[in-house]
Structure 1
Amino acid sequence: MTETLAQALSRVGDPVQLLRNVDYPAFTFPVHPEFSNWRSESRSWNETVALMDQSHHMTQLFLTGEDVVEVLSGIAVNTFSNFRPGVAKQLISVDHDGHVIGDGILFHLNHATAQGERIVLIGHHVLIDWVRFHAERAAADGRDIAYRLEGNSNMREGDPTFYRYELQGPRAHDVLEKLLGGPVPEVRFFHIADFGFRLPDGGTTTVQGLRHGMAGQPGFEFFGPYAEGETVRQALLEAGAEFGIVRIGSKAYSVTPLESGWVPTPFPAIFSDDPLFAAYREWLPLARAGSIGGSLNGPVDDFLLTPYDLGLGRSVNFDHDFIGKEALQRIAESPARRKVTLIWNAADVASVVESQLTPGAPAKYLEWPKARYGFYQFDDVHQDGRRVGVSTDAGYVAYDQLYLSLASVDVDVPEGAQVELLWGEEPNSSKGNVEAHAQVRIRATVAPAPYHDYARTTYRDL
Structure 2
Amino acid sequence: MTTPSLQDGIDKAGSPVGLLWRPGAEPWTPEVVDREFAGWRIEQRAWHEGVALLNLSHHMYDMWIEGPDATRVLADYGANNFEKFAIGQAKQYVPVTRHGHIVTDGILSREAEDTYLLSGVPAAQHWVQYHAEQGGYDVSFSTDPSSAFRPGGGDPRLFRYQIQGPLAVELVEQVFGAPIPETKFFHSTPVTLDGRAFKALRHGMAGQAGYEFIGPWEHAAYVHEAFLTAGEPLGLVQVGALAYTTPSVESGWIPSPVPGIYSDSELAEYRAWLPLFGIEGARPLYGSFFSESIEDYYISPYELGYGKVIHFGHDFHGRDALLRAKEDTSLRTKVTLVFDPDDVRRVIGGGADPGFVVSYARHRVETSAGLVGLTMQTASIDPVGTVLSQTLIDPSHAEPGTEVTVVWGDHPGSGTGPEADLGFPRIRATVQPSPFDRHARTEYRRDA
Question: Taking structure 1 as the reference length, what is the TM-score of the superposition?
Answer: 0.88
Does 2:376 match 1:395? no
Structure 2 counterpart of 1:131: 128
**Most deviating of 55-64 and 231-240:** 231-240
Letter in 1 for 2:369: G
Structure 1 counterpart of 2:6: 5
What is the count of residue pairs matched by the alignment? 431
Structure 2 counterpart of 1:454: 439
- Could you tell me whether the CA contact under 8 Å between 1:406 and 1:449 is conserved in 2? yes
**Most deviating of 127-136 and 76-85:** 127-136
| Superposition deviation, residue 220 in structure 1 | 0.8
Letter in 2 for 1:215: A
Structure 1 counterpart of 2:290: 297
- Could you tell me whether the CA contact under 8 Å between 1:135 and 1:147 is conserved in 2? no
Letter in 2 for 1:287: F
Structure 2 counterpart of 1:121: 118
Structure 2 counterpart of 1:337: 332
Q: 1:193 to 1:354 in 2, by over 3 A?
A: closer
Structure 2 counterpart of 1:368: 356
Structure 2 counterpart of 1:96: 98
Structure 1 counterpart of 2:313: 319
| Superposition deviation, residue 78 in structure 1 | 0.5
Match of 2:108 among 106, 109, 113: 106
Distance 2:260 2:175 in 1: 44
| Cα root mean square deviation, aligned | 2.4
Distance 2:333 2:442 in 1: 17
Q: CA offsets, 1:208-245, max 9 Å, x none? A: 01112243311111011101011111111222222221
| Superposition deviation, residue 10 in structure 1 | 2.2
Match of 2:142 among 132, 145, 148: 148
Does 2:239 match 1:227? no
Match of 2:369 among 371, 385, 393: 385
Question: Taking structure 2 as the reference length, what is the TM-score of the superposition?
Answer: 0.90
Structure 2 counterpart of 1:67: 69
Distance 2:159 2:406 in 1: 39
| Superposition deviation, residue 354 in structure 1 | 5.0
Structure 2 counterpart of 1:409: 393
Match of 2:242 among 240, 251, 255: 251
- Could you tell me whether the CA contact under 8 Å between 1:34 and 1:250 is conserved in 2? yes
| Superposition deviation, residue 77 in structure 1 | 0.8
Distance 1:207 1:420 in 2: 47
Structure 1 counterpart of 2:418: none
| Superposition deviation, residue 151 in structure 1 | 0.9
Structure 2 counterpart of 1:27: 28
- Could you tell me whether the CA contact under 8 Å between 1:135 and 1:145 is conserved in 2? yes
Distance 1:161 1:44 in 2: 28
Structure 2 counterpart of 1:434: none
Q: List runs of 5+ in structure 2 lacking aligned partners.
A: 416-421
SS at 1:415 equivalent: coil
| Superposition deviation, residue 132 in structure 1 | 2.3
- Could you tell me whether the CA contact under 8 Å between 1:215 and 1:260 is conserved in 2? yes
Q: CA offsets, 1:322-380, max 9 Å, x none? A: 111111112112442211101112222112235499xxxxxxxx7823123xxxx3122
Match of 1:163 among 152, 155, 159: 159
Distance 1:89 1:4 in 2: 30
Q: 1:22 to 1:380 in 2, by over 3 A?
A: closer
| Superposition deviation, residue 283 in structure 1 | 1.0
SS at 1:94 equivalent: coil
Q: CA offsets, 1:365-412, max 9 Å, x none? A: x7823123xxxx312211213221211111101111120110111122
Structure 2 counterpart of 1:440: 425
- Could you tell me whether the CA contact under 8 Å between 2:52 and 2:237 is conserved in 1? yes
Distance 1:67 1:367 in 2: 50
Distance 1:16 1:172 in 2: 43
Distance 1:183 1:405 in 2: 36
Structure 2 counterpart of 1:14: 15
